[in-house]
């Protein structure tokens, strides 16, 4: 598939009544040189004479179409800054939630900050906090709680009280013998627990979460 992007000059006009056709035609006759290279956006209904006039003059137009307005540099800058602030806040929220969890990770806690690569198998007797990604073809199995803060594309086997992972279509996740459906995970850290023999999945960044 190929495509081209063009910068187009657009003139928008509002037709309140078909009876405006004399004024409409007169206006474009007078300003033809100005608008001959524009795309004319017409709001409202136009008569057959108006259509014939536009066609005869080779004036291109669209009718009753909502055109997205271009944003100013300031608006674009404000949007970028807002997204950056949101991203920084999300990261802080994750760090805060991890700090709250620290008192629950007391079962022979192991902390790793290395990539678990394809072909690797990690078997942890206790809790694991992994600060890096799990590549496809890698396997992690823990008898305790498991938190993975980065992308997971390998096999996860967690038999602890809770599991925290991000959404991933490539991951194969089993929590206490139950397969976790990736479609139910949101694109953020998710806490997975068993309650009354049912999986409960909760996005970590929801403020109402109580980890106690």
**CATH code, domain with 124:** 2.160.20.70
Average pLDDT of the chain is 82
pLDDT in tens, 135-148: 999 999 999 999 99
In the chain, pLDDT over 90 holds for what percent of residues? 30
Q: Is residue 71 part of a domain?
A: no
DSSP, collapsed to helix, strand or coil, labels residue 72 as coil
How far apart are the C-alpha atoms of 105 and 101, rounded to whole Å? 7
In a shared domain, residues 58 and 98: no
Query: Which of 142, 144, 161, 140 is CA-nearest to residue 107?
Result: 144
How far apart are the C-alpha atoms of 46 and 191, rounded to whole Å? 58
Number of domains into which the chain is organized: 2
Q: CA separation (Å) from 184 to 17, 60, 149, 167, 173?
A: 53, 48, 18, 8, 12
Q: Where are the alpha helices (H) located in 66-173, listed in sequence order?
A: 73-101
In a shared domain, residues 32 and 103: no
In a shared domain, residues 46 and 136: no
**pTM higher than the cut 0.85:** no
pLDDT of residue 79: 75
In a shared domain, residues 99 and 183: yes
- Domain, as residue range, for 38: 10-63
In a shared domain, residues 27 and 119: no
- Per-residue pLDDT at 188 exceeds 90: no
Q: Is residue 1 part of a domain?
A: no
In the chain, pLDDT over 70 holds for what percent of residues? 82
């Amino acid at each position: 598939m190929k495509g081209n992007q063009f910068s187009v000059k657009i003139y928008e006009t509002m037709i309140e009544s078909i009876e405006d056709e004399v004024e409409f035609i007169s206006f474009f006759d007078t300003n033809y040189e100005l608008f001959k290279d524009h795309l004319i956006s017409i709001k409202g209904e136009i008569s057959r004479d108006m259509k014939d006039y536009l066609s005869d003059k080779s004036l291109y137009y669209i009718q009753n179409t909502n055109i997205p307005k271009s944003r100013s540099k300031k608006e674009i800058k404000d949007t970028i800054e807002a997204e950056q602030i949101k991203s920084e806040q999300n990261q802080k929220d994750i760090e805060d939630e991890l700090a709250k969890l620290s008192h629950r990770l007391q079962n022979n806690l192991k902390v790793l900050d290395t990539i678990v690569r394809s072909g690797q198998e990690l078997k942890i007797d206790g809790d694991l906090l992994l600060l890096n990604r799990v590549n496809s073809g890698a396997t992690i199995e823990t008898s305790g709680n498991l938190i993975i803060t980065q992308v997971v594309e390998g096999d996860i086997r967690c038999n602890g009280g809770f599991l925290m992972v991000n959404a991933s279509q490539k991951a194969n996740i089993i929590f206490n013998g139950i397969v976790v459906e990736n479609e139910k995970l949101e694109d953020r850290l998710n806490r997975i627990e068993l309650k009354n023999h049912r999986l409960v999945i909760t996005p970590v960044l929801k403020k109402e979460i109580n980890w106690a």
